[in-house]
């Protein structure tokens, strides 16, 4: 693999497929894809929040939410992700469009807010790539031009 980030939707799809292929070829335990936190923070600062007056900067709670960028792991036919309860509902709706994918396990750790979801992904790399991009865009509500990094393969 020669590239590890992409912003264009078509290029992100290629990155996901290449990452899955490299992960399987190397026999690694999992691969991790992560949204670019720096770009997300600058987008948040540039766009008004529903809770703020138009044109004002994000609040401290917005900054705390952005401290950990959205990430997705894939390994052994399973997609692993953390989400809020609202994001989980969006994920469940998204799964209706991807019948080959299903939630295998939900974990709600006591020491953390939110839910860890493990989704079986018994599909070819292209279909997994479509699902992954849909999760980033719809579950995590990222803009069309968000940057994703293959941070571990």
Tokens at 78, concatenated: 């399973």
What is the model's pTM? 0.81
**What is residue 64's predicted lDDT score, i.e. its pLDDT?**
42
**What is residue 59's predicted lDDT score, i.e. its pLDDT?**
39
Q: Among 1-15, 73-87, 134-148, whose mean pLDDT is lowest?
A: 1-15
**What is residue 34's predicted lDDT score, i.e. its pLDDT?**
97
How far is it, in rounded angstroms, from Cα 123 to Cα 102? 11
Each residue's pLDDT tens digit, 17-66: 999 999 999 999 999 999 997 654 444 444 444 444 434 343 334 444 44
How far is it, in rounded angstroms, from Cα 13 to Cα 105? 26
Each residue's pLDDT tens digit, 78-99: 999 999 999 999 999 999 999 9
How far is it, in rounded angstroms, from Cα 16 to Cα 9? 11
**What is residue 37's predicted lDDT score, i.e. its pLDDT?**
77
Each residue's pLDDT tens digit, 128-137: 999 999 999 9
């Amino acid at each position: 693999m020669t590239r590890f980030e992409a912003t264009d939707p078509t290029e992100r799809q290629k990155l996901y497929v290449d990452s899955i292929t490299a992960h399987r070829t190397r026999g690694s335990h999992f691969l991790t894809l992560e949204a670019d936190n720096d770009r997300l923070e600058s987008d948040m600062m540039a766009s008004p929040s529903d809770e703020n007056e138009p044109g004002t900067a994000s609040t401290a709670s917005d900054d705390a939410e952005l401290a950990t960028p959205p990430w997705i792991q894939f390994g052994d036919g399973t997609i692993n992700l953390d989400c809020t309860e609202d994001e989980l509902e969006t994920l469940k709706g998204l799964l209706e469009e991807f019948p080959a994918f299903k939630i295998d396990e939900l974990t709600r750790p006591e020491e953390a807010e939110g839910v860890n979801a493990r989704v079986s992904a018994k599909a070819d790399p292209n279909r997994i790539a479509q699902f992954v991009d849909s999760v980033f865009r719809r579950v995590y509500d990222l803009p069309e031009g968000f940057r994703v990094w293959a941070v571990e393969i």
